[in-house]
Amino acid sequence: MKLAGVELRRIGMPLVAPFRTSFGTETERDVLLLRVVTDDAEGWGECVAMSDPLYSPEYVDAAADVLRRFLIPALAGHRSLDGNAVGPALAPFKGHRMAKAALEMAVLDAELRALGRSFARELGAVRDRVPCGVSVGIMDSIGELLDAVGGYLDAGYVRIKLKIEPGWDVEPVRAVRERFGDDVLLQVDANTAYTQADARHLARLDPFDLLLIEQPLDEENVRGHAELAKIVATPICLDESITSARAAADAIALGACQVVNIKPGRAGGYLEARRIHDVCVAHGVPVWCGGMLETGLGRAANVALAALPGFVLPGDTSASDRYYRTDITAPFVLENGHLPVPTAPGLGVTPDPDRLDAVTTGTEWLPV
């Protein structure tokens, strides 16, 4: 393919309810979408960077800037552009993985639409549907938390993830276990909120038979996670620390994690996410697909990724209505705790023009 240009589109997506984590509360997603136009087809990408650099160093305005000034121009000279060419072309530019992932996603979507192949087939999916978990934010009270968890279980979600932070950890987990029993698949996510000094406190979660504790320490403290794993019996899962296949291999070798959460945006794209999957499978480490409150575009790609063989734990690939009253694509609807894997060419979904226009806050066309 030859690239003709890229449209940067900002949209504002109100959440159905505030989503609170240890690093802040979101009420609306400011999302950067990319529409890649080639001589063969168009493709869509979604940047998962947040409005502020709180979860990661990246944020939406910076992603748009680096795409505009550096990343998109780097692809301009490729006369035979495809998804596999994006990573090497962008490699000279350090960091900015979420921006790179969005551009790779859009190019892959265009390529696969032109070839008539699905994202799932390209990545190596082995399932036609994936089990879905749900992420439950920090609440104002235990009662509010129990009501929320009960609603998600009634909706059919097969796994519950509780966001935790110091002061909101042992008692919420205890309350959920006591109310809903030991059969519920339950895990917690700290988003780097703890330090190694909290090791004995985190070990108080061991009696609750959790699937895992996700990213308790700072993302750069891989050795600290290895030390923590010697004290805490619950499996340690790394999220923010896993930025590449090499980072995953190093963390596994150090004993810093027994489970890995794969987020394509954090890793620089779906092709690198597949490489992380392959490294983990080779070492017998289970993986699952994390979420960043994606629209239907990113959700479609995540569901395709989650259908690979190493994804043996339910991911955060929730239904569209978990976060949005109206998605920009046809909604993903939970079916017996699962979401179907799209099989149409490319992502298998496209934005509805009217829905997209209704939430658009700005567009910019960048010819190449």
Tell me the catalytic residues.
163, 263
Q: Which of 118, 87, 33 is nearest to 267 (CA)?
A: 87
* CB contact burial 7-19 (16+ within 10 A = b; e otherwise): bbbbbebebeeeb
Sheet holding 213-214, edge to edge: 133-136, 159-163, 185-189, 213-214, 236-238, 259-262, 287-289
DSSP 8-state class, residue 8: E
Pairwise CA distance, residues 102 & 308, whole Å: 20
Contacts of 95 (CB under 8 A, 6+ apart): 57, 58
Residue 298's φ and ψ, nearest 5 degrees, are -65, -35
Residue 285 CA to residue 277 CA, distance in Å, equals: 9
Could you write out the DSSP letters of every residue in 197-256?
A: GGHHHHGGGGGG--S-EE--S-TT-HHHHHHHHTT--SPEEESTT--SHHHHHHHHHHT-
CA–CA separation, 308 vs 199, rounded Å? Answer: 33
Residue type at 210 in one-letter notation: L
Name the packing angle between helices 270-282 and 245-254 (round to 10°).
30
Beta-carbon neighbour count of residue 367 at 10 Å? 10
